[in-house]
Structure 1
Amino acid sequence: MKILKLIAVLVLFPLALNLLGVWELQRSTDNRLTYAGYQADLDRARPELQAIADKSGSRPVMVDVGDGEQMEVKEALSRVADLQGELDTLLPLTDVMVWLAIGVITLGLLAALMGGVGLLALNWAGRRAMQSREQLLHSFTRVTRLLPFVLVGHVVVMGAAIAALVAFEALNVWHAGQLSAGEMKFMFFAMVLVAGCLYSIWQMGTQLRVMLNMFQPTPMDVMGEAVTVDQAPVLWAYVKDLALKLGALPPDHIVLGMAAGFYVTSGDIALAPANTTLTGRTLHVPLAYLGILDEAETTAVIGHELGHFAGADTEFSMRFVPIYHGIERSLVVIGQTLVDSEWLQRATLHPAFMLGAYFMESFDHAVMHWSRVRELEADAAGAQLAGNLAAASALVRISAIDPMLQDRLATHIAQATNITPEQSAVQDLPTTLLHEIAALPLTLPEEEMATQLPHPSDTHPSNGERVASLNVSIDDAVRSGTRPLDAAVACAAMNRYFAQPEVLRSRLTQDYLSHHVQQDAAIVEALRTHAGNVTGDVALYEGARLRGQILIGFSGLLAVAGLILLLAPLLFPGAAGRGTEPFFVGAGIALFIMLCMLPFGLRLFRRAHKTALLLTPDHFVFANLKAPLPIRDIADFNLQVGNVVMLTILLEDDAPLPELTSRSFFAPDVALNKKKRLLMLPMSRFCRDDKKLKLPELAELIGSYVNAGAARHLLQQRFEQGGEVSA
């Protein structure tokens, strides 16, 4: 379905513009021929009329100007002059219209050609990428160089085609004689639209620059510290020795982190909290795992990562992977730009964005295929250094311990962001983590062997598949990987890699916790701002009393008309003619319409000022719900306009379904769809303080209360022990 939509937007729509351009060219050519004929007639008539006028002197002479009309020769010459003035405008205008039509034809064909060739090229490149990693890299690189220009070209061409088409239709309104007010308004509106198209093309300069750079990789944010050879002499020597044994390129940087796993990247890294950018090959090492894994397992894991810089995988890892994931991040930026743009810019940019998204999808299958292949090859590289059992054991051990590690990290972050007098923030987080994990039972649920290891960029094969590829039984891998952790041994193993391990651990701990404390403070401040955006309650009601009165009045007129028709045969026997059936049929129709209309008129009148929805800082109160609806139970809301304005509220999956009281036809009641977990409130309109709310105003009002209520709930959870809920 997506490819059909792309074909429609990128090819069929431009071709439709092209056909419109052909129609416009035919019309403008016919007009030019017509006006040229008029010019030839004037060129013949002017000398003849002038000669007659010269001969007549001051004596008035009548001449035949066609269709039997007689006119004084001087008046005829004046009319010829007026017509010549009109033609002096219409002929150049027609020439402009011809070129505009040719422009629409050319630009439409060009846009369709660009869209069609772009789609065909992407399909061809995606199929070719399945042949080998080299073909994937070659095809992807070539497309990333050409496609931005295709996207930019398509945006500009489509914008220019629409502007030319609208400009033609605006000029086509011009004709001989005085233009009517409606024609002038149409021309003004059309020219404003043309100016909007051209202005949007010009204003899209910043967005086009973004699109031209959309396939340039963006740096990856990493929290950690880059250690030098002096700070980690043993670790650097160890890594370089493993790289030498594998014939792999050694890393340019080693970054110690706290939360993420082992990985390598050749893309740029934005390193926090140092606020520096690392370029080249980087190996990320989670500090605690240097103690959790034994030496053989550590060798297997680091060997796996270095294996991405060995052999056939080197160029793929260094060139393709950072570009591919950088583009994914860039597309997110483009999508946000699209959302923030005006409607005309969105209409012009959207096809190009769709093509960019389709470009990524065209390579997804090949990328996933070769990612699985390269991960299994990297496992083999790690096993080559440490043995198959060590490689399989490392996979299992990381899968078993990582959930506990993340849970303990979250606990310490929560403690650091909400310090109490009884408890202070930890000073040595890696050592504390090792002791806490050692005190916990280490087990591995069976389903864990089907999970994937956390990784910031690659899609890994399942653990079960990776262990099987190492020719190690699941039982042996689980037995080795879930052995108990000795905290003292783990701490000693972790410390041996560094010159001053205590100083390094303390600095990493402070940086890590300080980062999350600052992040939490920013989040809390944002929540307080949202929570303070609303004060007091707001009552929303239908306010359609006048509309109800009109319906009631019209129903009364229909009732009177129906009664008159019923009584007419009795009161005026002569009016019935040969039969009374037409009177009875008319009366029946009038009374039937009245009976259908009157209840709705009474409904609008009676519930006009009854509160349909009361917005409070913490609840939504509906007239027919037994209890107020907590805002924390609202997942989302939507407003749709049709015969009525429909407010739809989606409830959270874990929220209890509200209970309804008995519904009344004459009250603004909400309906509940239990299966879809939706509350639906239909209203002819929404009013507040005797003022009708436009849809954007209503959406902003309800959204502000939803956001404020959610923020208050989150603040209450955040400070439920401290009582700091007020905003």
Structure 2
Amino acid sequence: MKKLKLIAVLVLFPLGLNLVGVWELQRSTDDHAEYAAYQADLAEFRPELQAIADNSGSRPVMVDVGDGEKMEVKMALSRVTEMQDELDTLLPLTNVMAWVAKGTITLGLLAALVGGLGLLALNWAGRRAMHSRDQLLHSFTRVTKLLPYVLVGHVVVMGAAIAAIVAFEALGAWHAGRLSAGEMKFMFFGMVLVAGCLYSIWQMGTQLRVMLNMFQPTPMDVMGEAVTVEQAPVLWAYVKDLALTLGALPPDHIVLGMAAGFYVTSGDIALAPANTTLTGRTLHVPLAYLGILDEAETTAVIGHELGHFAGADTEFSMRFVPIYHGIERSLVVIGQTLVDSEWLQRATLHPAFMLGAYFMESFDHAVMHWSRVRELEADAAGAQLAGNLAAASALVRISAIDPMLQERLVAHITQATRPTSEHVPVSDLPTTVLREIAALPLTLPEEEMATQLPHPSDTHPSNGERVASLKVSIDDAVRSGTRPLDATQACAAMDRYFAQPDVLRARLTDDYLSHHVQQDAVLVETLRTHAGNVTGDVALHEGARLRGQILIGFSGLLAVAGLILLLAPVLFPGAAGRDPQPFFVGAGIALFIMLCMLPFGVRLFRRAHKTALLLTPDHFVFANLKAPLPIRDIADFNLQVGNVVMLTILLEDNAPLPELTSRSFFAPDVALNKKKRWLMLPMSKFCRDDKKLKLPELAELIGNYVNAGAARHLLQQRSEQSGELKAG
């Protein structure tokens, strides 16, 4: 479907503009031929009139000017002169219009050609990328450089084509004789539209930077600390020795993190909380895993990551991977810009976003294929250093412990963001988490061997496939990877890599928890702002009493007319003649329309001031629901305008379906679609205090109550959780 939309936007729509240009060219050609024929006739007719005028002297002479119309010769001569002057203007104008039409044809074809070739090139590049990693890198890099310029050119050409079409129609309003006020307004309005199109093209200059940079990688946000050789002498020596053994490029930076796993990247990193940008090759090491894994497993995992900078994978890891995932992040930014921008900017950037998303999809299959290949190659590199069993055991151990590690980190974040009087702040999170995990049973569900390890950039093969590729049995890998964790040994193993481990752990703990406390404070303030945006209840009603009165009144007139027609043959036998049937047919039609119209008039009149929807800070109250609808059960809503204004409310998947009471034709009742989980309230209009709400006002009002209710619910949940923590 997305490809069809792109074809429609990039190819079919320009071809449609091209056909409009062909039609306009035909019109301008026909007009030029017609005006040229008139000019030739006038050139032949004028000397004859001049001769008659010269021979007439002072006496008036009438001449036939066509279609039986006679005119005094001097007046006819004056009119011929005026028409020749107008044709002297119209003929060049048709030439200009012909060139404008030809411009539309050319621009439409050019835009369709650019769009079509762009789509074909993307498909070709995506297929070519499957041949090898070098082909993937070459094709992807070339497309990222050319595609933004192609897209900008397409938008500019399309804008120029639309401006040419509007300019042609505005010029086409010019004709012989005096222009009417309406025609002058039409020409002025057309030229304003042309100016608007040209202005939008000029404004492309303000969007050009965004569009040309949309395929430029953006830095990856990472929470952690970059450690120097002085801070982590053993770790740096260890990593460099592994790189030397593998023949791999060593990292330029080692970043210690708390939550994310092991990974390497050569893309730029935006490091928090230091607010610095790291460039070059970076190895991310989760501090706790230096104690959780034994030395052989750690060697296998770090060797795996360094393997991405060894051999055939080096250029792919250093050039393609950071660009690819940087562009993914960039498209997210463009998407947010689309949501927040005005209509002109959205119209400009939307094709770019669509094509950018399709561009990434064109390479997805090749990227997933080569990511799988390179991960298996990196596993082999790690196994080369530590042995196949150690590499397989590390996969299993990380899969088994990571959910427990994340759960404990979340628990400590919750305690830090919602402290109680009994709460003792954690000053050494890595050591605390290791001791807590050591006290828990370590098991591995069978389905874990089909999961993928968490990784911020690569698509990994399944754990079962990776263990099989290492030629290690699943039982041996699970037995080794799920051995008990000794907290004392784990803490000692973790500390041995650093010069001042206690200082480093304390600093990482403070940075990690402070970061989440600050984020939580911003979230709470945002929730409180939303919750405070509404106060009190708002009743919405239809307010269509006048419309109902008009329908009732018109129904009454129809009833009177029907009765008169029924009685006419009796009261006025002469008027009815011999056949009263037409009167009876007319009466029947009038009474039938009255019967159809009257109930709707009464309906509008009776329910005009009945509350159709009561908005409260915590509930939506509908007239025919047995209980108020909690706002927390609302997933989304939308408004559609047609014959009526339809408010549709989408319920959360886990929310119970509301119960309806009996519906009344004369009440503003809501309908329930159980299959789609929709509540639908149709109204001729929505009013508040007898004042009609425009659609944007209504959407803002309902949105404020939905956001406020959701915010109040989340704040209530936080309060209850804090109470549970305090009680615990």
TM-score (norm 1): 0.95
Q: Distance in 2 between the 1:622 and 1:484 partners?
A: 57
SS at match of 1:436: helix
Aligned residue identity for 1:426: V
Partner of residue 31, structure 1: 31
Which structure 2 residues correspond to residues 611-690 of structure 1 after superposition, within 5 A? Answer: 611-690=611-690
Q: Deviations over 1:40-59 (max 9, x none)?
A: 44455556656666676766
Partner of residue 362, structure 1: 362
Q: How many residues align?
A: 723
Maintained 8 Å contact 1:200/1:345: no
Q: Deviations over 1:20-39 (max 9, x none)?
A: 11111111122223223334
Maintained 8 Å contact 1:303/1:382: yes
Aligned residue identity for 1:158: M
SS at match of 1:103: helix
Partner of residue 536, structure 2: 536
Partner of residue 214, structure 1: 214
Q: Distance in 1 between the 2:162 and 2:418 partners?
A: 58
Q: Distance in 1 between the 2:445 and 2:43 partners?
A: 98
Maintained 8 Å contact 1:207/1:337: no
Maintained 8 Å contact 1:46/1:77: yes
Maintained 8 Å contact 1:243/1:249: yes
Q: Distance in 2 between the 1:350 and 1:523 partners?
A: 30
SS at match of 2:529: helix
Partner of residue 609, structure 2: 609
The structure-2 alpha-carbon separation of the partners of 1:661 and 1:274, relative to structure 1 and needing over 3 Å to count, comes to same
Maintained 8 Å contact 1:154/1:352: no
Aligned residue identity for 2:463: N
More displaced 10-residue stretch of structure 1: 587-596 or 395-404? 587-596
Aligned residue identity for 1:688: R
The structural deviation recorded for 1:89 is 3.3
Partner of residue 484, structure 1: 484
Maintained 8 Å contact 1:159/1:348: no
Structure 2 residue 129 is matched with structure 1 residue 135: no
The structural deviation recorded for 1:84 is 3.9
Partner of residue 592, structure 1: 592
Aligned residue identity for 2:638: N
More displaced 10-residue stretch of structure 1: 88-97 or 636-645? 88-97
Maintained 8 Å contact 1:155/1:349: no
Which structure 2 residues correspond to residues 404-419 of structure 1 after superposition, within 5 A? Answer: 404-419=404-419
Partner of residue 232, structure 2: 232
Partner of residue 374, structure 1: 374
The structural deviation recorded for 1:212 is 1.1
The structure-2 alpha-carbon separation of the partners of 1:314 and 1:82, relative to structure 1 and needing over 3 Å to count, comes to same
Which structure 2 residues correspond to residues 556-571 of structure 1 after superposition, within 5 A? Answer: 556-571=556-571
Q: Deviations over 1:672-712 (max 9, x none)?
A: 22222211111111001111111111111100111111111
Partner of residue 260, structure 1: 260
Q: Deviations over 1:251-309 (max 9, x none)?
A: 11111111111000011111111111111111000111111111111111111111111
The structure-2 alpha-carbon separation of the partners of 1:339 and 1:168, relative to structure 1 and needing over 3 Å to count, comes to farther
The structure-2 alpha-carbon separation of the partners of 1:344 and 1:180, relative to structure 1 and needing over 3 Å to count, comes to farther
Q: Distance in 1 between the 2:44 and 2:562 partners?
A: 71
The structural deviation recorded for 1:589 is 2.8
SS at match of 1:368: helix
Maintained 8 Å contact 1:396/1:477: yes
More displaced 10-residue stretch of structure 1: 583-592 or 676-685? 583-592
SS at match of 1:391: helix
More displaced 10-residue stretch of structure 1: 52-61 or 527-536? 52-61
Q: Distance in 1 between the 2:183 and 2:239 partners?
A: 79
Partner of residue 195, structure 1: 195
SS at match of 2:420: coil
Maintained 8 Å contact 1:562/1:588: yes
The structural deviation recorded for 1:581 is 3.9
Maintained 8 Å contact 2:211/2:349: no
Partner of residue 119, structure 1: 119
Q: Distance in 2 between the 1:491 and 1:633 partners?
A: 46
Partner of residue 163, structure 1: 163
SS at match of 2:465: helix
Q: Distance in 1 between the 2:679 and 2:35 partners?
A: 64
Q: Distance in 2 between the 1:413 and 1:85 partners?
A: 86
Structure 2 residue 98 is matched with structure 1 residue 98: yes
SS at match of 1:720: helix
Which structure 2 residues correspond to residues 16-415 of structure 1 after superposition, within 5 A? Answer: 16-44=16-44, 62-415=62-415
Maintained 8 Å contact 1:416/1:424: no
Q: Distance in 2 between the 1:318 and 1:245 partners?
A: 20
SS at match of 2:208: helix
The structure-2 alpha-carbon separation of the partners of 1:344 and 1:421, relative to structure 1 and needing over 3 Å to count, comes to closer
Maintained 8 Å contact 2:211/2:352: no
The structural deviation recorded for 1:60 is 5.1
The structure-2 alpha-carbon separation of the partners of 1:504 and 1:57, relative to structure 1 and needing over 3 Å to count, comes to farther
More displaced 10-residue stretch of structure 1: 437-446 or 1-10? 1-10
Aligned residue identity for 1:205: G
Aligned residue identity for 1:610: K
Aligned residue identity for 2:409: L
Percent sequence identity is 90
More displaced 10-residue stretch of structure 1: 42-51 or 558-567? 42-51
Q: Distance in 2 between the 1:241 and 1:545 partners?
A: 85
Q: Distance in 1 between the 2:280 and 2:495 partners?
A: 27
SS at match of 1:204: helix
Maintained 8 Å contact 1:538/1:615: yes
More displaced 10-residue stretch of structure 1: 149-158 or 558-567? 558-567
Q: Distance in 2 between the 1:231 and 1:454 partners?
A: 27
Partner of residue 726, structure 2: none
Q: Deviations over 1:475-504 (max 9, x none)?
A: 111111111111110111010001111111
Q: Distance in 2 between the 1:210 and 1:451 partners?
A: 38
SS at match of 2:512: helix
The structural deviation recorded for 1:64 is 4.7
Aligned residue identity for 1:646: M
Q: Distance in 1 between the 2:349 and 2:76 partners?
A: 56
Structure 2 residue 497 is matched with structure 1 residue 500: no
Q: Distance in 2 between the 1:176 and 1:505 partners?
A: 88
SS at match of 2:720: coil
Partner of residue 464, structure 2: 464
The structural deviation recorded for 1:657 is 1.9
Q: Distance in 2 between the 1:92 and 1:13 partners?
A: 30
Maintained 8 Å contact 2:18/2:107: yes
The structural deviation recorded for 1:447 is 1.3
TM-score (norm 2): 0.95
The structural deviation recorded for 1:162 is 0.9
Q: Distance in 1 between the 2:63 and 2:559 partners?
A: 68
Q: Distance in 1 between the 2:146 and 2:236 partners?
A: 41
The structural deviation recorded for 1:338 is 3.2
Q: Distance in 1 between the 2:33 and 2:180 partners?
A: 25
Partner of residue 704, structure 2: 704
Q: Distance in 1 between the 2:71 and 2:588 partners?
A: 64
Q: Distance in 2 between the 1:343 and 1:520 partners?
A: 33
Q: Distance in 2 between the 1:90 and 1:638 partners?
A: 52
Aligned residue identity for 1:302: I
Q: Distance in 1 between the 2:321 and 2:611 partners?
A: 58
More displaced 10-residue stretch of structure 1: 331-340 or 204-213? 331-340
SS at match of 1:539: strand
The structure-2 alpha-carbon separation of the partners of 1:24 and 1:614, relative to structure 1 and needing over 3 Å to count, comes to same
SS at match of 2:620: strand
Q: Deviations over 1:547-584 (max 9, x none)?
A: 11111112222222222333333334444445444433
Aligned residue identity for 2:284: H
Aligned residue identity for 1:301: V
SS at match of 1:719: helix
The structure-2 alpha-carbon separation of the partners of 1:337 and 1:482, relative to structure 1 and needing over 3 Å to count, comes to same
Q: Distance in 2 between the 1:50 and 1:197 partners?
A: 49
